[in-house]
Amino acid sequence: MAKMYYNQDVNEQALKGQTIAVIGYGSQGHAHAQNLKDSGFKVVVGVRPGKSFDQAKQDGLEVTTVAEAAQAGDVIMILVPDERQTQIYEESIKPHLTAGKSLVFAHGFNVHFNQIVPPKDVDVFLVAPKGPGHLVRRTFEAGAGVPALFAIHQDVSGNAKDTALAYAKGVGAARAGILETTFKEETETDLFGEQAVLCGGVTSLVKAGFETLVEAGYQPELAYFECLHELKLIVDLMYEGGMSGMRYSISDTAQWGDFVSGPRIVDADTKARMKDVLTDIQTGKFAKGWLLENQLNRPEFTAIENAEAEHQIEQVGRELRAMMPFVNEDKKSKEVVTNVSN
């Protein structure tokens, strides 16, 4: 088994006395800033004036501009959207990235695809939680944590690994497990996971299931419960006990259906297409397309986003969730999501 790092393996002294500048206060930014502060570290948030600036202030954090935070920070964590990082880095971070500081990422995209080339006299590493930022905060508050990867790109100080581990522990990841990787491995696997399985794969599967039932004349509300709402409950069981844990709880009839029909849905052709997706990631084709899409002000992204929001499963879901206040308990984090989506 790969070497895993847990609380007892990590000495947070590596970060004591250092100022951590968290640049961005969105999904990951608010979680890192608050968890690190609660872990006893000195944190300053750098963000432009606006809603997330106000939110960070309201959450009791020290907040300033990106440039001032970068100037103050010994460790500078970039948590603004990947597609905006290069410009923000060039304009507001690089001028303050003096020798001996640490430049940190939560995803290797811009370093791996050569969009950001850090100076040679700073430590460069990543700490990438394997979970959405709002859950990084929520699990931390509940006394648990989300696992994370770390990778060292440059180790000028000789302490980059200790600093990365201390940072990861500060956000709560050492409660769940920290694993060492490279920028290349983190970038390619993260992009693959979100495209083929976690986000792209799952939403396409759910929509296809919903549409199949509705087109066959079944009620949309029922199709929503069956294909989307219950998915969380099934995935919770997999999170707790793997596939066998989930299968223990479902009926034998469901388990037999799982065995005989699952491979008819996700088959060798699906896997071949997954390999194509991975190839596009590895060759940089996906990254190039995403960067160009942003340079063009996201015409295709916006068209798809609008069409998806109007899909029947979303309309039905909005109405059904309005009647389930317990599903929407975490209003606060949802407001942050809304605020940072553009």
Ligand X SMILES: CC[C@](O)(C(C)=O)C(=O)O
Ligand Y SMILES: NC(=O)C1=CN([C@@H]2O[C@H](COP(=O)(O)OP(=O)(O)OC[C@H]3O[C@@H](n4cnc5c(N)ncnc54)[C@H](OP(=O)(O)O)[C@@H]3O)[C@@H](O)[C@H]2O)C=CC1
Residues labelled as active-site residues: 107
Minimum CB–partner distance for residue 107 and Mg ion (Å): 6
- 81 touching ligand Y, by CB under 6 A: yes
> Is 224 labelled as part of a ligand binding site?
no
From residue 267, how far is each of 40, 106, 114, 159, 234 by CA, in Å?
49, 33, 35, 46, 21
| Binding to ligand Y, residues 89-108 (CB under 6 A) | 106-107
287 binds, among Mg ion, ligand Y, ligand X, none (CB under 5 to 8 A by kind): none
> Is 295 labelled as part of a ligand binding site?
no
CA angle 281, 282, 284 (to 5 degrees): 65
What is the distance between the alpha carbons of residues 132 and 174, in angstroms, rounded to a whole number?
16
What is the distance between the alpha carbons of residues 109 and 295, in angstroms, rounded to a whole number?
17
Among 119, 132, 177, 200, binds ligand X (CB under 6 A): 132
- 237 touching ligand X, by CB under 6 A: no
> Is 341 labelled as part of a ligand binding site?
no
- 12 touching ligand X, by CB under 6 A: no
Torsion of CA 160, 163, 168, 171, to 10 degrees: -140
Looking at the Cβ atoms of 194 and 240, the one nearer to Mg ion is: 194
What is the distance between the alpha carbons of residues 320 and 196, in angstroms, rounded to a whole number?
28
Looking at the Cβ atoms of 28 and 35, the one nearer to ligand Y is: 28
236 binds, among Mg ion, ligand Y, ligand X, none (CB under 5 to 8 A by kind): none
What is the distance between the alpha carbons of residues 200 and 243, in angstroms, rounded to a whole number?
20
> Binding segment for ligand Y among 74-82, 231-239, 263-271, 285-293 (CB under 6 A)?
74-82
What is the distance between the alpha carbons of residues 293 and 290, in angstroms, rounded to a whole number?
5
Report the first-to-last Cα separation within the chain, whole angstroms. 41
Among 33, 190, 246, 287, binds ligand X (CB under 6 A): 190
Mark the binding-site residues for substrate, compressed into ranges: 251
Mark the binding-site residues for NADP(+), compressed into ranges: 25-28, 48, 52, 133
